Amino acid sequence: MKLFLLGIAFALSGSCFCQTDSRIYEIISETSSERIKADITTLAGFGTRHTLSDTVSNTRGIGAARRWIKAKFDKISSDCGDCLNVFYQKDLVKQGDNNRITKDVWVVNVAAVQKGTKYPNRYIIMSGDIDSRISDSNNFTDDSPGANDNASGMAGAIEAARVLSKYKFESSIIYLGLSGEEQGLFGGKGFAKHALDNGWEIIGVLNNDMIGNITGVDGVISNRDFRIFSEPVPPTETERERGRRRFYGGEVDGISRQLARYVHKTTKTYMPEMNPMLIYRLDRFGRGGHHRPFNDVGFPGIRIMEAHENYTQQHQNIRMEDGIEYGDKLKFVNFDYAEKLTAVNAISMASLAWAPPAPKNVAIGGVVEPSVKLKWEKVVGAKGYKIYWRDTTSPTWDYSKEIGDVDAYTLEGIVIDNYFFGVSAIGENGHESVVVFPSAVFR
């Protein structure tokens, strides 16, 4: 009998060694392109959502748009027993702050917070943008539908709220509409400061900016490819941290890069039909996005977006020229693709929000030895850990070994010089934290 019970226990722990969670597949199938289409259509229908545009009208301008977004979040919240805390977060930006602020303006963000049951002060953010622009960045009156840039990201955040609010998570999730993006990333800056002021632990920002175009200016049409931009190391690192990298590595292993790898891996595991591309840079060449203000204060943040942009359909006056139809119009958005990228966000957030916190103070040793030693601070709520390593030229954590509830481990027969290493924490439910790159060395 005892042996029999042991057998069951083994089988159960074996089955809980789960690579996948069926709820993640539910989340993918519950994400709806029809609702995303309806929301992008409404947002594009506000005429312009320029940051400096009208705030009084209920049908045109950024004021109408943000009130509509807040009402959407409020409705989602009432459908889940008031599970969301919905609010405006705003900052006054003064005329002349830069040359795109031609008058004093309130930059108003809309946030919906779903509190975590176990780690309420740990937050994962999915952001889209409320505002839009045309050729002249300061024209706040002419039509600027901004269907792809960035009603698509905004609609994605609203849809993720609809889907994920049906579940309970251990960590908190924020669905966020940011404003002032096109005028100089003001909304992100304001919200990052709001997070700092409130002592929030932001474990990841998934900034979605243009997730609906599949027909690229490069002639490629692809509804599978998408990009995950991440900066290599935080801009807030110290001289000492920079100095030690020269000897111990970590040039391509900052916290935002680990977040990018997490989204990449989650997509590969659950949505193999998609082709996530890890892009090793902060953003597109010389261009900006709303993850950057979060990175600026030391939070991990990445940009998720289409792989093949079409420049005749972004930041353009609506017009015909030489037979080319210019403008960021609704008809150019592929809603099924926006649904896929929304699902990528939703499953990455769900997995992170179901996972325990990442291990802290990860240290590595093993110089001139035939083995690699790792140690870390145990995480309350973790049932075990996973040691990862990879070739120094590989973008992804290709090798791994799951271990039990310990705070140190030695990988025998592996030479420290030839790989990079990391550690993640695994929860009872099988969900895993981001991988942590060692920040200290021991003998």
Neighbours of 287 (CB within 10 A): 8
Which residue's C-beta sits nearest to Zn ion? Answer: 149
CA distances from 122 to 187, 203, 252, 285, 290 (A): 21, 6, 25, 32, 20
Nearer to Zn ion, 102 or 269 (CB): 102
CA angle 394, 300, 350 (to 5 degrees): 90
Return d(Cα 414, Cα 417) in angstroms, integer: 9
Closest distance between Zn ion and the C-beta of residue 182, in Å? 5
Closest distance between Zn ion and the C-beta of residue 291, in Å? 14
Print the binding letters for residues 241-260 with Zn ion: x by CB under 5 A, - otherwise.
--------------------
Is the Cβ–Cβ distance between 291 and 207 less than 8 Å?
yes
Closest distance between Zn ion and the C-beta of residue 93, in Å? 18
Return d(Cα 307, Cα 303) in angstroms, integer: 11
Residues in 356-375 at the binding interface with Zn ion, rule: CB under 5 A: none
299-309 exposure pattern, b = at least 16 Cβ within 10 A, e = fewer: bbbbbbbbbbb
Nearer to Zn ion, 149 or 306 (CB): 149
Residues in 193-222 at the binding interface with Zn ion, rule: CB under 5 A: none
Closest distance between Zn ion and the C-beta of residue 129, in Å? 8
CA angle 266, 267, 271 (to 5 degrees): 125
Closest distance between Zn ion and the C-beta of residue 132, in Å? 8
Q: What is the dihedral of CA 368, 245, 292, 99, to 10 degrees?
A: -160
Closest distance between Zn ion and the C-beta of residue 210, in Å? 7
Closest distance between Zn ion and the C-beta of residue 322, in Å? 23
| In 340-404, beta strands by DSSP E | 360-365, 371-377, 382-391, 399-403
Residues in 422-441 at the binding interface with Zn ion, rule: CB under 5 A: none
Nearer to Zn ion, 213 or 258 (CB): 213
Q: Is 231 in the site for Zn ion (CB under 5 A)?
A: no
Closest distance between Zn ion and the C-beta of residue 84, in Å? 27
Kindly state the tokens that stand for 185: 């990333």
Nearer to Zn ion, 171 or 314 (CB): 314
Question: 276 - beta bridge partners?
Answer: 226
Nearer to Zn ion, 91 or 149 (CB): 149
The closest of 212, 165, 225, 213 to 27, measured between CA atoms, is: 165
**Size of the residue set binding Zn ion (CB under 5 A):** 1
Is the Cβ–Cβ distance between 91 and 178 less than 8 Å?
no
> What is the sign of the dihedral through the CA atoms of 63, 69, 75 and 78?
negative
The closest of 238, 268, 267 to 347, measured between CA atoms, is: 267
Closest distance between Zn ion and the C-beta of residue 283, in Å? 11
Nearer to Zn ion, 185 or 233 (CB): 185
Nearer to Zn ion, 39 or 149 (CB): 149
| In 329-368, beta strands by DSSP E | 360-365
Print the binding letters for residues 137-156 with Zn ion: x by CB under 5 A, - otherwise.
------------x-------
Nearer to Zn ion, 149 or 432 (CB): 149
Nearer to Zn ion, 338 or 426 (CB): 338
Closest distance between Zn ion and the C-beta of residue 128, in Å? 12
Nearer to Zn ion, 149 or 159 (CB): 149
Binding site for Zn ion (CB under 5 A): 149
